[in-house]
Amino acid sequence: MKVDVLLGLQWGDEGKGKIVDVLTPKYDIIARFQGGPNAGHTIEFDNKKFVLHTIPSGIFNKNTTNVVGNGVIIDPFVIKKEIENLKGGDIEVSDNLLISKKAHLILPTHRLLDTVFEKAKGNKKIGSTLKGIGPTYTDKISRNGLRIGNIENSDFDTKYQEARKRHLKTIIQYDPSYELLTIDGLSFPEYEKAWMEALEVVRGLKKINSEYYLNKALDNGQRVLAEGAQGTMLDIDFGSYPYVTSSNTTTAGTCIGLGIAPARIGKVFGIFKAYCTRVGSGPFPTELFDNNGQQLRDIGREYGSTTGRPRRCGWIDLPALRYAIMLNGVTEMMMMKADVLNLFDQVKVATAYNYNGKSSDEIPFDSVNTEIIPEYETLDGWKSELDSIEDYEQFPQALKKYVAYIEKQLNVPIGIVSVGPDRSQTIFTKHT
């Protein structure tokens, strides 16, 4: 068997959590391959709403195993809260959650480092979620990290203290009064205490060598779906550097983050919103600063699932989507939040970029410092509610045209159109 992959084609928050949950009954295993608690994946069903940060979105199906892969970074404080929230909703996390021993740990001092580094950047700040992502991946790459498997070793406390000491040396240089900084509303000593308590919860979770587990599962004919976090345009290599996250969010990240050989990648599902959003700093060529942008934010409830920050909103960006399709080898797409455009008379689509006096389909190397003017085509809006629609054939003509137009422009079929946040508001198109 091969691993299917589901990942975001834009700047994150495309609706990955919702679609992974919808597809879960078709799979035996859902595996997260990168990112950490910077992710916020929302799942809604039966009038209940959950936001997951670390735990894969297959957790609501009792028959599915959920694997947190080696490419993910884990904050015990956050995963403990996730488990408690799920418990509150009668979802018991037990044998169906497995954690890679090779996944790295986010320490309390990684959170402080994120805060002081971001502050030092002033108006060039990344707009990080401040969950410790950059500093933790930095320690991984510089071979200083602590991994989940280390928790069980007798020298864990020594290693923790060494890392803490090393981090504090840097933190003090950036902010001598760092003791006044808070993490998620707690003082550093309070947070560290809560983190240590949470570590006990992580000690009780099932830990595995996930690369062996997953490859054996594939050998035995099990169906695996890899769940991405963030989006292609936030990839450390291919996003608008430095305004990116610190992991590879693309299909290649699945191979590294799960230990899957490239030839074992199957279908690649690329998910995008019918428009665009971005949270945090960095280039966003189709961003709208007018009433249309505000309308997208209000109707689409575009406020961060992890931080609550308002998301920047704009029209759909085909050059960026083409780039994402190329990098990921997307075989099928899902278009999300079509309902958010219900009231618009007209919908704009960026088909090319204009910069340095020329029209181009390529994103320039220095997208941060290049003024990019999008070239738009305007399509008719559908001006109707999609609430009662149960079937693709019932779509208003203008929406069918919008879907067909994007498919033609991108040369990849759209298998799902999502018309609301609930699990049930998912329309499979003629392709599926």
Residue 230 binds what, of ligand GDP, Mg ion, ligand IMO, none (CB under 5 to 8 Å, by partner type)? ligand IMO
Binding of residue 340 to ligand GDP (CB under 6 A): yes
Among residues 304, 295, 276, 298, the alpha carbon closest in space to that of 344 is found at: 295
Q: How far is the CB of 91 from Mg ion (least distance, A)?
A: 19
Distance CA 207, CA 167 (A): 27
Q: How far is the CB of 51 from ligand GDP (least distance, A)?
A: 7
Mask for 282-311, x = binds ligand IMO (CB under 6 A)? -----------------------x------
Contacts of 138 (CB under 8 A, 6+ apart): 246
CB 105 within 8 A of CB 76: yes
Residue ranges in 217-246 that form contacts with ligand IMO under rule CB under 6 A: 229-231, 234, 245
Total chain residues near ligand IMO (CB under 6 A): 24
Distance CA 32, CA 324 (A): 19
Structure tokens at 267: 């279908």
| Residue 13 appears among annotated catalytic residues | yes
Binding of residue 305 to ligand GDP (CB under 6 A): yes
Closest CB to ligand IMO among 129 and 250?
A: 129
Closest CB to ligand IMO among 96 and 249?
A: 249
CB 76 within 8 A of CB 37: no
Applying CB under 6 A, the span of 171-179, 243-251, 331-339, 355-363 interacting with ligand GDP comes to: 331-339
Helix axes 318-328, 397-410, angle to 10 degrees: 50
Binding of residue 282 to ligand GDP (CB under 6 A): no
Catalytic choice (4, 41, 53, 139): 41
Q: How far is the CB of 410 from Mg ion (least distance, A)?
A: 23
Helix (H, G, I), strand (E, B) or coil at 14: coil
The radius of gyration of the chain's CA atoms, rounded to the nearest angstrom, is 21
Binding of residue 307 to Mg ion (CB under 5 A): no
Q: Which helix (H) or strand (E) holds 140?
A: helix 133-141
Distance CA 305, CA 16 (A): 12
| Residue 184 appears among annotated catalytic residues | no
Closest CB to ligand IMO among 278 and 322?
A: 278
Closest CB to ligand GDP among 61 and 305?
A: 305
Closest CB to ligand GDP among 50 and 355?
A: 50
CA dist list (Å): 309 to 30, 123, 240, 284, 305: 28, 17, 20, 17, 8
Q: Which residues bind ligand GDP (CB under 6 A)?
A: 8, 12-18, 39-42, 44, 300-301, 305, 336-337, 339-340, 418-421
Active site residues: 13, 41
